[in-house]
Structure formats: C-alpha cells, structure tokens
C-alpha cells in the first residue's frame, strides 16, 4: 500500500500539489501496483520503491522550499496585507523583485519580477521564447527545479515562499502546465475525487463519496465539453494535446482556485477547443478569483479579456499595458516593444 501511496503522492504533486494520500484509496480506486512513475516525476522524487516513501520529506522539493523560505523570512507580509489600492481592490498575489536560479546550474532566470494581481483580475504574460515566463509560473507553485534567491511572493496575505507546493495548492493556487503529464495507473475520476476531497478536508468541508462526486463531476464535464469516457481513462494517458488541455481546465473546474495560472493553455488547440476552453475559464471567473495566463497569441486574449498584459524579457517584466500591447505585438513583433 505504501507503494500506492507513493505513486499517488507523486501524481498529486505533479498535477496540482494536493496533499499526500495517507489513507487507502476509496473502494472504487483502480491503481496499478508497481507501475513505474518515471514519467510523472515532478518533485524529483527519484525513489520508485515503497521503501523510499518515508524519505519523501527530504527530497529536493522540500529542500528547495526551505531555501526559499530563508530568503523570504525578512518579508513583512503583514504590511503587504494592508496594501490596498485607491479603488479598494484587494491584492491576491504580490510579487516583489523576485529572483530565481535553476537549482542545479545556479543560472539566474528570474532577475527581479514585479507583479500585483488583484481579486477578479485577469493578467496575461507574454514574451519571446526563453524570456522566463514558464519559469516564473513554476516558481510561483514551488517547482523544485528552481530556487528563489531574492524578493517575495505574497498570496492572500501569506508568504507563499514559506509553503510547500501542496500547501500552495490547498491555499487556492492552481497551475495548468504547458505540457500536462500522464499519470499511469490512476483514473481521471479517482484522481479528481481524491484531489477534490483533499481540498474539502483542508477547508473543513464534507468530502464526497464516489457516487456523490460523479454527479458533481458530470456538470463540470459539460462546462469543458468533455465526454464521460475520459473519466475512466488514466490521467492524460493517450490523450491528444487538446484533450490534455481540456482535462487541465476540468481539474480547475472541479477543484476551484483563487488564482489559476494557465501556461499556454491555447497551444495545440483547434478553434473549437480554444473557444470551449476560453468559455470554461470565463465561466469560472468570479469577482474574487483571478487568472494569470501565459500566452504567445492575441487569439486567446480575444476570448479571455485581460485586465493587464505584461511583457517579459530576460527574466523581468519590461512593460505592462492593456490589450493594445498584444495587438502591437501581433502586428509588429517584439522589436516594437523590446528595450
């Protein structure tokens, strides 16, 4: 059973950073014992054996977060909680002078990112290939490949850098990856059910059994225009690129999030799928929830209208503006914007 738990933990860590499953899976769970989790490594949980389970807390994932915490300990997040702009808007995410290196090579990728997202806002981050957009989003969720070396991230008034990746998820941060991973041996339905219940536990709300959860899930499937067949398939296994992206949005719809980080959610989508996904994201927006989306193309912004667009270059946000910035980019390319 420990092997099962390890695999589920890995799956969880990868997909949405929900907590370790310490109790046996629900009765309908279909978990293939002994499946190599090599394709689903996220937290560099190198050990594939049950024996490794007790050592999980000492993986690089935790070490990285600890290192990040020491950087952020000087942040007076209380003062940031009080930060209200003139319009009375409430900041959800406050990133100040964020610096991060690749853990292994120590190469600095983020060189002082500043960004504030208020409740109910949609922010788009654009920029040339390799400018640091995905790194930024992965640093936000605590990806172990990166180490924060300076600056601060405050989410809902709390120091995000003090939190483990799974706690960031439970706090209401969701990330849709550019290349969603497969999780062999875990069905979509079971995965979503466990992730959903983990969030409910954290919120002190009643969990749903598989039958109750199915009813909840069916309504969400309609939102993303997915067939029920996908529920019985293993997470993302054999899914087309577009199906994976829809599945990511299904996870968002099921789990909910105060801040959804969508990394190139439009890549690989045909026109109909793009509209479905955009419609689903728009349908999930409330005055309290926010979206931070990374994209290369204006076409996504035609469907999900951003409050602000940021241009990232060489690990920094060099320009912020409204949709005219994206239109300028589309017409003239980055030469019209770069310094």
Residues near ligand ATP (CB under 6 A) are: 102, 109, 127, 129-135, 145
Supply the DSSP symbol for 212: H
Pairing of strands 290-294, 259-263: parallel
- CB 74, min distance to ligand ATP, A: 26
- CB 296, min distance to ligand ATP, A: 6
- CB 136, min distance to ligand ATP, A: 7
Could you tell me which of 68, 69, 91 has the C-alpha nearest to residue 80?
91
Helix (H) or strand (E) segment spanning residue 158: strand 158-159
Q: What are the CA-CA distances from residue 46 to residues 56, 61, 183, 301, 334 (Å)? A: 9, 11, 16, 39, 40
- Residues 6 or more apart whose CB falls under 8 angstroms from that of 119 comprise 89, 90, 91, 92, 258, 287, 288, 289, 290
Could you tell me which of 144, 134, 73, 44 has the C-alpha nearest to residue 103?
144
Comparing CB distances to ligand ATP, the nearer of 91 and 127 is: 127
CA separation for the pair 27, 23 (Å, rounded): 12
Comparing CB distances to ligand ATP, the nearer of 34 and 130 is: 130
Could you tell me which of 218, 280, 282 has the C-alpha nearest to residue 249?
280
Comparing CB distances to ligand ATP, the nearer of 58 and 105 is: 105
Comparing CB distances to ligand ATP, the nearer of 146 and 196 is: 146
For residue 338, how many other CB atoms are within 10 A of its CB?
A: 14
- CB 43, min distance to ligand ATP, A: 13
- CB 129, min distance to ligand ATP, A: 3
Q: What are phi and psi of 58, to 5 degrees?
A: -105, 15
Comparing CB distances to ligand ATP, the nearer of 134 and 193 is: 134
- CB 297, min distance to ligand ATP, A: 11
Comparing CB distances to ligand ATP, the nearer of 5 and 131 is: 131
- CB 76, min distance to ligand ATP, A: 29
- CB 139, min distance to ligand ATP, A: 9
Comparing CB distances to ligand ATP, the nearer of 22 and 105 is: 105
Centroid of chain to Cα 37: 20
- CB 25, min distance to ligand ATP, A: 32
Identify whether the C-beta of residue 316 lies closer than 8 Å to the C-beta of residue 113.
Answer: yes
Look-up of token digits 């979509």: 188
Look-up of token digits 């009765």: 27
Comparing CB distances to ligand ATP, the nearer of 135 and 247 is: 135
Could you tell me which of 284, 231, 222 has the C-alpha nearest to residue 259?
284
Supply the DSSP symbol for 31: B
Helix (H) or strand (E) segment spanning residue 220: helix 210-224
Comparing CB distances to ligand ATP, the nearer of 4 and 312 is: 312
């Amino acid at each position: 059973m420990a092997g099962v738990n390890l695999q589920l933990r890995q799956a969880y860590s990868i997909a949405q950073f929900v907590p370790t499953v310490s109790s046996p899976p629900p009765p309908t769970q279909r978990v293939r014992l002994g499946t190599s989790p090599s394709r689903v490594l996220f937290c560099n949980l190198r050990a594939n054996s049950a024996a490794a389970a007790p050592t999980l807390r000492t993986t690089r994932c935790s070490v990285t977060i600890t290192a990040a915490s020491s950087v952020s300990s000087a942040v007076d997040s209380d003062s940031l909680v009080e930060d209200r702009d003139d319009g009375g808007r409430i900041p959800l995410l406050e990133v100040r002078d964020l610096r991060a290196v690749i853990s292994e090579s120590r190469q600095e990728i983020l060189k002082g990112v500043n960004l504030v997202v208020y409740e109910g806002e949609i922010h788009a981050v654009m920029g040339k290939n390799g400018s640091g957009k995905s790194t930024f989003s992965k640093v936000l969720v605590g990806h172990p490949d990166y180490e924060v070396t300076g600056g601060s991230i405050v989410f809902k008034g709390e120091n995000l850098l003090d939190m483990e990746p799974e706690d960031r998820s439970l706090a209401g941060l969701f990330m849709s990856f550019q290349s969603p991973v497969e999780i062999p041996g875990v069905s979509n339905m079971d995965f979503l059910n466990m992730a959903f219940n983990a969030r409910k536990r954290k919120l002190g709300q009643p969990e749903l059994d598989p039958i109750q959860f199915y009813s909840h899930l069916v309504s969400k499937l309609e939102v993303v225009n997915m067939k029920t067949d996908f529920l019985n398939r293993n997470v993302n296994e054999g899914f087309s690129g577009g199906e994976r992206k829809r599945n990511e949005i299904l996870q968002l719809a099921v789990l909910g999030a105060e801040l959804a980080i969508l990394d190139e959610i439009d890549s690989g989508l045909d026109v109909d799928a793009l509209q479905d996904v955009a419609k689903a994201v728009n349908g999930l927006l409330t005055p309290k929830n926010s979206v931070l989306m990374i994209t290369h193309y204006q076409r996504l912004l035609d469907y999900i209208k951003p409050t602000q667009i940021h241009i990232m270059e060489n690990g920094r946000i060099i320009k912020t503006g409204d949709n005219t910035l994206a239109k300028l980019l589309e017409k003239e390319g980055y030469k019209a914007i770069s310094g």
